[in-house]
Structure 1
Amino acid sequence: MPSGNLGAVQAPLTVTPAQLPNVLLHVAVVRPVFLWGAPGIGKSSLVQSFAESLGLHCVTLLGTQLAPEDLIGVPQIVGDRSRFAPPETIARDEPYCLFLDELNASSPEVQKAFYSLILDRRIGTYELPVGSVVIGAGNRATDNALARPMASALVNRMIHIHLRASATDWLKWAADHGIHQWVVDYLVQRPDHLWSPPPKTEEPFSTPRGWHMLSDAIWSYGESIDDETLSILAFGTLTAAHASAFRAYVKTVRHAYDLDAVLKGDASWPRGPGDRDLLYFLSETFRARLIKGLPTSKDNASPVGRQLAFRAKALLIELAEISLECAQLVIATDDDGAPVLPSWFLVEISRDLPRLATARI
């Protein structure tokens, strides 16, 4: 890559959506800010909310839909001279928030046209009113999104903030914005499914925006929505794995079939051929429960922790009889090959369930 251009700026430190307003309040009012983040995590809506909190109108310009003349304007003859008149959208009398969305996806010519707005807060003879703020935003090239390298001169004109998705923040927001209860309750159990890295192929992937769209579609159909339609919607907005798990979760809600009932012995693992996705979902939930509930050390285990371990071994035996794959999922290592369950529990599994331990992935 030429030395004059920079790709996606690296992010040693990031902020959550809940932290962002305070950062912008102190930074954006004195210097232009560029907000980096993956697609669908709420950059645009957060900037608009920030502008509203300051009582400023938010003017959004999409870099991918602009030509240089859309910013510079067209020449007009004034007296015996010509001057460029910027568009009415930009040339306002009152202070406002200028949001340059998809800035790093715009052409190099458009990026150059932004220079004076970002650095000098002016374009042609028009100067942004005192009290205006300038915020840019864009996706990262690593997210397989449209992103062009920004010239180092443009990068150096802004303070760069990196936004990450936060399930805690999003769930707080969802509670006040009419997100469907199925979506909220599912993500309470599986906050790691709120966002997934964009794939290299053209297929849906999970983002806060995607979950919001799924919620809107479910509300449109109503809770009488059939399983097939729910599946179409889920697989159209989320990753395949998350869509399958969400579909299974809704089955548990509709049939009052949850992990607590299995742990208590009030229900058994589902065995029907049509319940494969349900069994997989319960297995993942069981794994998450063990990660959270099993003590690190057996010697310091509470009675509750010991009871969970005892019950877990019995349930793993039953689960392995139905599906060895699902049982393996419960005790599987992480992506780096490191165990996620306590070593003492895995030792007991190796002793009491040798067939499962041998096959453990």
Structure 2
Amino acid sequence: MIEYIQTRPDHLWSQPPKHEEPFSTPRSWHMLSDTLHEYGERLTDHWLEVLAMGCLSPHHATQFKGFIKQIKSKYQLTAILKGEIGWPHRTEDRDVLYFLAQSFRAQLIKELPQERLAMTGSHKDLAHRAKGLLKDLAAISFEIAQMVVSDSDSVALAIPEKGDALPSWLMVEIVRDLPRLVKKENGT
């Protein structure tokens, strides 16, 4: 639970909905943690989903379920960023792919400076790796890759902080370099 909140601190709290449905608060996360602890090893994927949906906002519950599935699988964002493994590509791993893509976006927003002049060597390495990862992600799911770079209202629903956007200098580099990366992969 703590690792999830550290990975996605923007999911600790959500705006209360205008209609009757659960929403995320530190208290609801604590309730879910206590309940999961009580279930222990008896917890099935079905009950994880039921409990998360009963305590958290629907989006956060889905993301948390994907996070737990990702922990149980071989896919870790740090390994993907390092190039040790690729994105999950099987259809049954779409929820893990979605969670990883959301985490990838959050990581880029968190790590990369908004101003190009503030970039260090590690920022340049991350930006370069991000462009290649976006290309690979688009080959698996164009829609999920669009979600990573999009600043639309539909993404704002998934990531409540509307001000959180990828740096504009990175977007310029993506637009500039992506055709070259695709051409390079196709061997032309």
TM-score using structure 1 length? 0.45
Provide the residue aligned with 2:171 in structure 1.
346
Displacement after TM superposition at 1:299 (Å): 4.8
Displacement after TM superposition at 1:295 (Å): 3.2
Asked if the contact 2:75–2:88 (Cα under 8 Å) also holds between the matched residues in 1, the reply is no
Please give the alpha-carbon distance, in whole angstroms, between the structure 2 residues aligned to 1:235 and 1:205.
Answer: 9
**Greater helix content:** 2
Match of 2:39 among 202, 218, 221: 221
Please give the alpha-carbon distance, in whole angstroms, between the structure 2 residues aligned to 1:337 and 1:207.
Answer: 19
Asked if the contact 2:109–2:164 (Cα under 8 Å) also holds between the matched residues in 1, the reply is no
Displacement after TM superposition at 1:297 (Å): 3.8
Provide the residue aligned with 2:4 in structure 1.
186
Asked if the contact 1:262–1:268 (Cα under 8 Å) also holds between the matched residues in 2, the reply is yes
1:302-317 → structure 2 map (5 Å cutoff): 302-317=120-135
Displacement after TM superposition at 1:256 (Å): 4.3
- Structure 1 segments unaligned to the other structure (5+ residues): 1-182, 355-361
Report the structure number with the largest CA radius of gyration: 1
Instruction: Tell me how large the CA RMSD over aligned residues is.
Output: 2.0
- Structure 2 segments unaligned to the other structure (5+ residues): 180-188
Alpha-carbon displacement from aligned partner over 1:249-305 (angstroms, at most 9, x marks no partner): 111222242100101122111112121111111011101111122233445522211
Please give the alpha-carbon distance, in whole angstroms, between the structure 1 residues aligned to 2:151 and 2:174.
Answer: 14
Find out whether 1:294 has 2:119 as its counterpart: no
Displacement after TM superposition at 1:187 (Å): 0.8
Range with greater deviation from structure 2 (218-227 or 229-238): 218-227
Across the two proteins, how many residue pairs are aligned to each other?
A: 172
Structure 2 residue matching 1:236: 3-state secondary structure: helix
- Larger RCO, structure (CA 8 Å, separation 6 or more): 2
Please give the alpha-carbon distance, in whole angstroms, between the structure 2 residues aligned to 1:318 and 1:194.
Answer: 30
What percent of counterpart residues are identical?
51
1:115-154 → structure 2 map (5 Å cutoff): none
Amino acid corresponding to residue 350 of structure 1 in structure 2? V
Provide the residue aligned with 1:323 in structure 2.
141
TM-score using structure 2 length? 0.83
Provide the residue aligned with 2:62 in structure 1.
244
Alpha-carbon displacement from aligned partner over 1:169-203 (angstroms, at most 9, x marks no partner): xxxxxxxxxxxxxx111111111111112212221
Range with greater deviation from structure 2 (215-224 or 243-252): 215-224
Please give the alpha-carbon distance, in whole angstroms, between the structure 2 residues aligned to 1:345 and 1:262.
Answer: 19
Amino acid corresponding to residue 84 of structure 2 in structure 1? D
Provide the residue aligned with 1:332 in structure 2.
150
Amino acid corresponding to residue 145 of structure 2 in structure 1? A
Asked if the contact 1:186–1:246 (Cα under 8 Å) also holds between the matched residues in 2, the reply is yes
Alpha-carbon displacement from aligned partner over 1:27-71 (angstroms, at most 9, x marks no partner): xxxxxxxxxxxxxxxxxxxxxxxxxxxxxxxxxxxxxxxxxxxxx
Amino acid corresponding to residue 230 of structure 1 in structure 2? L
Provide the residue aligned with 1:277 in structure 2.
95
